[in-house]
A and B are shown apart, each in its own frame.
Chain A
Amino acid sequence: MSDTYLRIEGLTKRFGASTAVQDVNLDVRQGEMLVLLGPSGCGKTTTLRMVAGFVEASEGRILLEGRDYAGLPPYRREMGMVFQSYALFPHMTVAQNVTFGLRMRKLPKAEVEARLAETLEMVKLASMADRYPRQLSGGQQQRVALARALAIRPKVLLLDEPLSNLDANLRQQVAREIRGLQRAAGLTALMVTHDQDEAMMMADRLVVMNEGAVQQVGTQEELYERPANPFVARFIGHSNLIPGELAEGERLMLPGGGAIRLAGGYTATGPCTLAIRPERVRLCGPEDAGARVVATVEDATYVGAHIEVLLVLPDGTRLILHDPTDGGAARRFAAGDRAGIAWDPASERLFDSAGAPLAARTPVPA
């Protein structure tokens, strides 16, 4: 993309012998919300802190509008950060908190006042200007933290787990508010979260990280439909991961015996992993022509949105299936029954032993 605004190149951070962040390369476009997603300890927060300037990179560059930010202290970076703990100044009022960055910039008083009013209006806290942080609810404190970061009109908005301290029912609303403000201001934003739903809700694009390395970058749909490796397949949504041996390009031999008839034809052979999402799997009769494998129904649980069916493959591997509650097939089967399992070719993902996706040789028939 030509409109890269913030570029991260080969960013690496080592703490002693361990590597927290390994060769991260990212392009953030102007006005985009890029969300770093991963389990705790995956390096996403360290990456964000390197961008903010709190952690010095061992290697790599951070380029904003083409300028290298390495070595620039945090107070010169013009980045507004919203901290997980909000990090409000406890001894300052809401107004003093919000204007702190403006006062540090020695803006004229009239300008400070104007921006304060404008920012408080934006986050709907105009009536709270004289309160202290401890007199505010969690959601209000969060909005003060956001207002404080927005008031300096940052070049990049950094969000570190901004929703994790909020009540579950407030989270969606605040997520939408933050997203609305970021879009309205045309702000480029980098957010970190471990929560997949949050990430999906907020992001223009997502970056999945694990063990310090970027696993995949893409839109929600790209990550969900075409995960780059088994980790992403399991981390974004849920996936059944079934290890086996690829035979004749179209059958997955299960390690304990039995085989799965694959939808696509593959050129590779050898050990690989099949990833298939629970909601993309259907039940059918064991003799049905569409059945890719026959399994035993172990249990079925009605969980509201769907019926969760637990199946056992011939070699003992377990597989989870989400069957629609309206008109699904699960109700026709009882525990202990044999059932055929089917899926569309487009839902099937196969990874080689290194975790790289295998392309189907034949264009998958519908």
Chain B
Amino acid sequence: MAGIAAASEGAAPARASTPAVVHRRVSAAAVLVWGLIATGVLAMAVPLVMTAYISLFRDAVVVFPPSGYSVSWYARILEFPRFGDALGTSLRIAAMATLGSLALGIPASLALVRYRFLGRGLLNVLLLSPLTVPGVVIGLSIYVLVVETEIATEVPLIGSDLVLVLAHLLITVPWVIRLCVANLVGLDRSVEEAAANLGARPWSVLWRVTLPMMRQGIVAAALFAFIVSFENIEMTLFLIAPGQTTLPISVLQYLEYKVDPLVAAVVMVQTLVIAGLLLLLDRYVKLSRIV
């Protein structure tokens, strides 16, 4: 009893100062949280900021500190070996991979969410599994497969857009399915039932109700598919034909023998293409609500 009394007596003055203590603790936590956020943002931003910085150096050889600054590298961007060609290939492959992955991924998502069938679980795992295998491994495997097929059939495959697009589908389809499934799961099924109740046939329900309601998911999926394909390097490295190139690959090849502000400028352009795409899409779909 005496102990309890003493403790409560001892607690009384402490209680008076509690608000200050709590306040200080909250501040410490806040400092930690903001510190972590700042570190994270910094870690993400530093490479980009450094690249942007270097792209403005005047000297052809990267030295610190630079002797001066200049935007002339951007004007000389077309001097980058096969810049237009590489960018064109990248955009073309990414666009085809995006369309292809939507064509495969949207029906697959509908099937996975709406129907119960034999092997559904297996299909689900298979469709997402390429994300778990390193790109280099997939690239090499496809390369071996394609070469063997070429030898067997004598149909030239290596270097065709088709092989590259098919390979990219492996990594873009999982993204499309993942985003569309998440979107579909959140939809109220009775909306589709209402359409049927009002006289809409199944295809009409799909076209007029289900797909429009999936718009957010589809846009997000298209975006991810495009970026994943556009930036892919590991798989593409194996499957690209001699003489053919994509932007990330030409950057890699350039960096093998030279580091100068020109390549930094090219990377900045590539980043701006993606950023521009994101901004454009954000006008139609609030990205913050999806990602």
**CB within 8 Å of B: which residues of A?**
52-54, 73-77, 79-81, 83-85, 87-91, 100-101, 104-105, 148-149, 152
Contacts and interface: CB of A to CB of B under 8 A. Distances in A.
12 contacts: A54-B196, A74-B193, A74-B197, A75-B200, A80-B198, A81-B194, A85-B188, A87-B188, A88-B191, A89-B212, A100-B208, A104-B200
B199 A101 contact: yes
Contacts, number: 64
B190 A74 contact: no
Q: Helix, strand, loop or mixed for chain B's interface?
A: helix
B213 interface: yes
Contacts of A81: 193-194, 197
A89 B190 contact: no
Given A75-B201, A101-B199, A104-B200, A87 B194 contact: yes
B196 to A, nearest CB: 4
A83 B201 contact: no
B215 interface: yes
A100 B190 contact: no
Contacts of B215: 91
Given A89-B209, A91-B213, A105 B199 contact: yes
Contacts of A149: 197-198
A90 B201 contact: no
A131 B250 CA distance: 52
B202 to A, nearest CB: 8
A271 B137 CA distance: 77
A52 B193 CA distance: 9
Contacts of A85: 188, 190
| Chain B interface residue bracket vs A | 10 to 19
Contacts of B190: 83-85, 87
A89 B199 contact: no
Contacts of A80: 197-198
A62 B273 CA distance: 60
Max chain B C-beta neighbours (<10 A), residue from A52, A73, A100, A149 = A100
Contacts of A88: 191, 194
B58 to A, nearest CB: 53
Contacts of A74: 193, 196-197
A91 B211 CA distance: 11
Most chain A CB atoms below 10 A, which of B195, B197, B199, B208 = B197
Contacts of B208: 100
Contact of A100 (B193, B200, B201, B213): B200
Tell me which of A53, A75, A149 has the highest count of chain B C-beta atoms within 10 A of its own C-beta: A75
Contacts of B196: 53-54, 73-75
Contacts of A52: 193, 197
B141 to A, nearest CB: 42
A53 B197 CA distance: 8
Most buried by B among A52, A73, A77, A101: A101
In the A-B complex, list the 8 residue pairs whose CB atoms are closest, starting with the nearest: A101-B198, A104-B199, A87-B194, A87-B190, A74-B196, A91-B212, A87-B191, A83-B190
A219 to B, nearest CB: 29
B13 to A, nearest CB: 47
B89 to A, nearest CB: 36
Interface in B200-236: 200-201, 204, 208-209, 212-213, 215
Nearest to B197: A81
Contacts of B198: 75, 80, 100-101, 104, 148-149, 152
B79 to A, nearest CB: 48
B204 A104 contact: yes
Given A80-B197, A80-B198, A104-B199, 20 more contacts: A52-B193, A52-B197, A54-B193, A54-B196, A75-B198, A76-B199, A81-B194, A83-B190, A83-B193, A85-B188, A87-B188, A89-B212, A89-B213, A91-B213, A100-B208, A101-B198, A101-B199, A104-B198, A104-B204, A105-B199
Contacts of A152: 198-199
B197 A89 contact: no
A75 B197 CA distance: 5
B103 to A, nearest CB: 22
A356 B201 CA distance: 47
A138 to B, nearest CB: 15
A54 B195 CA distance: 12
Contacts of A87: 188, 190-191, 193-194
The winner among B190, B195, B198 for most chain A CB atoms within 10 A is: B198
A52 B190 CA distance: 12
A69 B104 CA distance: 37
A173 B195 CA distance: 27
A77 B87 CA distance: 55
Most A CB within 10 A of own CB, among B193, B194, B209, B213: B194
Contacts of B201: 75
A85 B209 CA distance: 16
Contacts of B209: 89
A152 B208 CA distance: 18
A75 B195 CA distance: 8
Contacts of B199: 75-76, 101, 104-105, 152
A326 B266 CA distance: 90
Contacts of B213: 89-91
Interface in B163-212: 188, 190-191, 193-201, 204, 208-209, 212
A74 B208 CA distance: 17
A104 B194 CA distance: 12
